[in-house]
Structure 1
């Protein structure tokens, strides 16, 4: 057996033909009624199916918020998070609430959902996730749905071109009775069967034709109907449509509602014969699923009439035929300039009245923005190039600062506002204050730099810096700044200059971050920190209990070392007037741990750990002679100490050899210039 034949044989053995037959079920209309009786959900509306699809994936709470939840569906778990939506929890909750309302038939099922936001804010990604989700959900037992076809005399089957719901074949006069039978003994927590709308003109033609043959007995007509399970598929144009505006000269409304098949007119004799019509417009295709309108507000007015009818009445008007029922979720997306045109155009009043606008802003939380870039530029994807710590963080930081509005609160900087949004605490600011900040900035996130621009510049930095094994923040910030000269979406020089100044702000913040990181690496001597902590605690204990401390060397009792205690406390801005409170807090904390049978460790108290590390750094920085890094000659003893610090940066903070050397030299140059800020 050849290798190719062996591969095919192995694949053949792995296939489950029974599963295929189950998924591609065909049967009679009466058998379909049995299916509906057992599981009414197969006859759901498109909105009900959409809502159930999202909820089926589950939810989880948003960290740090009592009222927000995340829908696992939008994390794209089935595609390894390739299209995951980061942040935007409120936006996604608003969207799902519309689906829920529409599923309950409260009125929103008769609206166009308009995703509105700046370029690159995930509008298309949300629509793509919904389409992919429907494709996937329709292949599950929970998401199964069915359509039908007509048996011909030669044994072939003419399938309904719009994949209509089989129950729509039941005449209006009998629907109430049939629904009563199907809903009998139905559990209260399941869907009730409702039959609305009519089949497409072609199936209506076949129904009427065969009704005559059977002397008006519609139950006999249904004996020639074959019901089959269908799978929604954008590629196969089943249940999912996408419409994108093109050149007005090359586009007409038949792209939405289908067109006459002129080759078949000679066969059937008239344009109004449904057999001579192609029901292949995007609305026809999207029946039972969803249709996406890309840049919907760029549509010609002629298309808007079809859109309005499809949303409000759930009907479309194919050429030469009566209005035809459809059941589809209509989602469009647009950007801010196009939406402003809609608001100012009095001829668009009908569309505005039938639209539910859902703002899809840029992310305004730093941690979520960083996730966007981590997804695209993790080490598994960026082969052969190490990404230094904070590189993606500073890019995200700059992007966020361009999107935030200047705070009205006196004394609050834009950088501090960004930190508050990211969950950091600042003296004098509560969670309520942060909520108020967001309320005051109504257009926040709807303007600023797109993640796409940042991604383009990160990609460029990876390609341009070929001589370096590591991509560092300065390489990316240089690309971000140089690209501003040619950025097509920046309206004027004033905004461009503001963005440049924000890069300077980010550079200053990065300097503080790495300076602190190097300080911690220098002060990461566990034994020295433990000794310093023990000495501090002994003195604090003696101070709070009005005792003396035994000198470890002389054995004599001495007064608590006030100078030592203050040198540590000042590192975390504990004023002299608050020192007693702070020391009592430390002792109470140690006592509470002891009651629980736990031993105190300086690492369990973040503030104390920071103070100890900064104190130890101050004591050791002169012995390490970090500033000697910027000189050409380094003595052996200093080099050994520097190598220890570098190894800590690599082991504890994610640097490689080159980026660790770079950051040490950068921080050393700051010390050499005497530019170190007073940490107090």
Structure 2
């Protein structure tokens, strides 16, 4: 075995060593060391994930904005990066902050916007960051399961028969958590991954918090999250707990011997503390009896006689984490009415029991479905439990370019990429999304300037802070000062609601790469594909809009892009020859 192989195995051993189970007493010691990290709600955990990766304040032509580093996905090599969308990021962060302060998630976060505007990408980026954060020391999260020792270890306790030679297994009040597999008869998982602290009576939980406050381990105004304050074990764990307590004659310490605490790692892929609900026609949680299963025949009689039910479904899988409803409003409204009470109480009523959940609910939908939902008779009831976060198409060329550069490495296109191709594709996409500015909120000469802004003027104003040519310095300053107001103009038909999506532009680029008569992917091939797309208005809603001057006039918008490309070629040729262009005098 080589030294490198030994080092690799040693490293893997250290990593896997963190999976070593704890007894309940060991977990309490860990809790005493860092109580704040273990007494978090799901919303606080997500909030800490945002804070762990940090943020930065950016000065842009449209004003100051805060960007959270988790959306850059540097920890994943940039895979899953979300370009732009800082306003949506900040809105989600504010809501998580509110939920964390309240101690529970009281509303569902609904990301709405046109198709292909990165709603799902935002949710995936958060999930990916949570998965990474959970591997750090700050992101430790624990759950528990029940351990039932072999007959020779239990020596007649909890319903096992007498007999069998005792081994060197735990005695007295020592935990069964560290028993070797050969001495374990049965293991029962907690399907809901309940917090280990829920094993303690509520009075003891509150007493612990007060102790931590008196020792300055928690802030004086710290409030225990609703899930840990008012919550309880899932029905299966509660029945096991109560049965064990009765079997041991009320000896609480003996019950805790059966508890094994494990570190858990949230995972969207394995539906561990995170899950996705696709549009479908059934409830998102269920239960089925498990004690009838032959695989659990080795349970002690005092437990085997119980009618234990196994909980399943996305709502169960996502407990203590985040549940995503993908294209939520494609489902019949009645299938998610339960969220009205679940968001308010943190409980889900099933046929035979009630689940206590601690989950951040986040969903996505497009604008057409949201408009239809607003006409629904019960929308007012839902609105009280919804927080709408707008996710429009990007309106800055430099941000749009980032998408294509990350999505199209040289190997994917299969051909050489000519200069400026991505920039021109991004410019065309942004131009299709811009709306004629509302000049009513401006006065004097500035109002006239706003009215005269062309789509290309507005695009460079948003992206570069570049004012139109031949504008006086005074008006340029006034226009730049009013740019944040111009950029944030609201309304149901907001800017960025319609236009070419990044998906459609990616399709155009892929088609341009397939042109057999061209040796590279060039702006000329791009223009040909855009012209071809403009011929089929029935497939693309943004082509069916009525032009407003040059805005939404798609043949004219393509001309703007062509003219800009010719200007670029002229400037580059002049630079190469050391000549001065007309623009240099402006």
2:40 matched to 1:10? no
2:510 matched to 1:473? no
1:304-319 → structure 2 map (5 Å cutoff): 304-319=336-351
Alignment match, 1:437:
486
Asked if the contact 1:258–1:277 (Cα under 8 Å) also holds between the matched residues in 2, the reply is no
Compute the displacement of 1:295 (Å). 0.8
For residues 192 and 26 of structure 1, what CA distance do their matches in structure 2 show? 29
Alignment match, 1:419:
460
2:128 matched to 1:124? no
2:138 matched to 1:142? yes
2:378 matched to 1:337? no
Alignment match, 2:21:
26
Asked if the contact 2:291–2:306 (Cα under 8 Å) also holds between the matched residues in 1, the reply is no
1:87-98 → structure 2 map (5 Å cutoff): 87-98=84-95
- Assess, with a 3 A threshold, how the Cα gap between structure 1 residues 479 and 145 changes in structure 2: closer, same or farther: same
Aligned length: 514
TM-score by length of 2: 0.81
SS of residue in 2 equivalent to 1:25: coil
For residues 421 and 115 of structure 1, what CA distance do their matches in structure 2 show? 23
Asked if the contact 1:42–1:143 (Cα under 8 Å) also holds between the matched residues in 2, the reply is no
Asked if the contact 1:265–1:276 (Cα under 8 Å) also holds between the matched residues in 2, the reply is no
Alignment match, 1:577:
none
For residues 519 and 98 of structure 1, what CA distance do their matches in structure 2 show? 52
Structure 1 counterpart of 2:287, from 251, 254, 259: 259
2:385 matched to 1:365? no
For residues 576 and 277 of structure 2, what CA distance do their matches in structure 1 show? 56
Structure 2 residue ranges without an equivalent (≥5): 151-183, 298-304, 440-449
Compute the displacement of 1:174 (Å). 2.8
For residues 204 and 188 of structure 1, what CA distance do their matches in structure 2 show? 29
Structure 2 counterpart of 1:100, from 84, 97, 102: 97
Alignment match, 1:646:
none
- Assess, with a 3 A threshold, how the Cα gap between structure 1 residues 290 and 148 changes in structure 2: closer, same or farther: same
For residues 263 and 151 of structure 1, what CA distance do their matches in structure 2 show? 15
For residues 131 and 220 of structure 2, what CA distance do their matches in structure 1 show? 23
For residues 332 and 344 of structure 2, what CA distance do their matches in structure 1 show? 19
For residues 134 and 86 of structure 2, what CA distance do their matches in structure 1 show? 26
For residues 305 and 382 of structure 1, what CA distance do their matches in structure 2 show? 46
Structure 2 counterpart of 1:237, from 268, 271, 275: 271
- Assess, with a 3 A threshold, how the Cα gap between structure 1 residues 136 and 244 changes in structure 2: closer, same or farther: same
- Assess, with a 3 A threshold, how the Cα gap between structure 1 residues 431 and 510 changes in structure 2: closer, same or farther: same
Asked if the contact 1:202–1:274 (Cα under 8 Å) also holds between the matched residues in 2, the reply is no
Alignment match, 2:166:
none
For residues 181 and 31 of structure 1, what CA distance do their matches in structure 2 show? 18
Compute the displacement of 1:188 (Å). 5.3
Structure 1 counterpart of 2:571, from 498, 516, 519: 516
Asked if the contact 1:23–1:139 (Cα under 8 Å) also holds between the matched residues in 2, the reply is no
For residues 342 and 203 of structure 1, what CA distance do their matches in structure 2 show? 39
For residues 72 and 126 of structure 1, what CA distance do their matches in structure 2 show? 12
Asked if the contact 1:290–1:329 (Cα under 8 Å) also holds between the matched residues in 2, the reply is yes
2:355 matched to 1:355? no
SS of residue in 2 equivalent to 1:479: helix
Asked if the contact 1:43–1:193 (Cα under 8 Å) also holds between the matched residues in 2, the reply is no
Compute the displacement of 1:131 (Å). 1.5
For residues 15 and 391 of structure 1, what CA distance do their matches in structure 2 show? 48
Post-superposition CA distance 1:461-506 (Å, at most 9, x none):
0111x34333221210110220233462326645598223211221
For residues 313 and 423 of structure 2, what CA distance do their matches in structure 1 show? 46
Alignment match, 2:160:
none
Post-superposition CA distance 1:121-175 (Å, at most 9, x none):
1111111111122222212111011111112143232121111100011112333
Compute the displacement of 1:318 (Å). 2.3
Asked if the contact 2:66–2:86 (Cα under 8 Å) also holds between the matched residues in 1, the reply is yes
- Assess, with a 3 A threshold, how the Cα gap between structure 1 residues 265 and 94 changes in structure 2: closer, same or farther: same
Compute the displacement of 1:356 (Å). 0.5
Post-superposition CA distance 1:86-127 (Å, at most 9, x none):
1111221111111122222277x2100001111111111111
For residues 502 and 425 of structure 1, what CA distance do their matches in structure 2 show? 19
1:251-330 → structure 2 map (5 Å cutoff): 251-253=281-283, 256-261=284-289, 264=292, 275-321=307-353, 323-330=354-361
Compute the displacement of 1:210 (Å). 1.4
- Assess, with a 3 A threshold, how the Cα gap between structure 1 residues 493 and 177 changes in structure 2: closer, same or farther: closer
- Assess, with a 3 A threshold, how the Cα gap between structure 1 residues 275 and 476 changes in structure 2: closer, same or farther: farther
Asked if the contact 2:236–2:308 (Cα under 8 Å) also holds between the matched residues in 1, the reply is no
Compute the displacement of 1:511 (Å). 1.7
- Assess, with a 3 A threshold, how the Cα gap between structure 1 residues 420 and 336 changes in structure 2: closer, same or farther: same
Compute the displacement of 1:18 (Å). 4.3
Alignment match, 1:112:
108
For residues 346 and 241 of structure 1, what CA distance do their matches in structure 2 show? 29
Which deviates more from structure 2 when the two are superposed, residues 491-500 or residues 228-237?
Answer: 491-500
2:559 matched to 1:504? yes
Post-superposition CA distance 1:185-235 (Å, at most 9, x none):
134569957332111110001111112123334343223211111111233
- Assess, with a 3 A threshold, how the Cα gap between structure 1 residues 315 and 458 changes in structure 2: closer, same or farther: same
Alignment match, 2:422:
392
- Assess, with a 3 A threshold, how the Cα gap between structure 1 residues 480 and 82 changes in structure 2: closer, same or farther: farther
Looking at secondary structure, tell me which structure has more helix per residue. Answer: 1
Alignment match, 1:631:
none
For residues 478 and 277 of structure 1, what CA distance do their matches in structure 2 show? 61
Structure 2 counterpart of 1:174, from 204, 216, 219: 204
Asked if the contact 2:34–2:217 (Cα under 8 Å) also holds between the matched residues in 1, the reply is no
- Assess, with a 3 A threshold, how the Cα gap between structure 1 residues 181 and 493 changes in structure 2: closer, same or farther: closer
The answer to which structure, 1 or 2, has the higher relative contact order (CA under 8 A, 6+ apart) is: 2
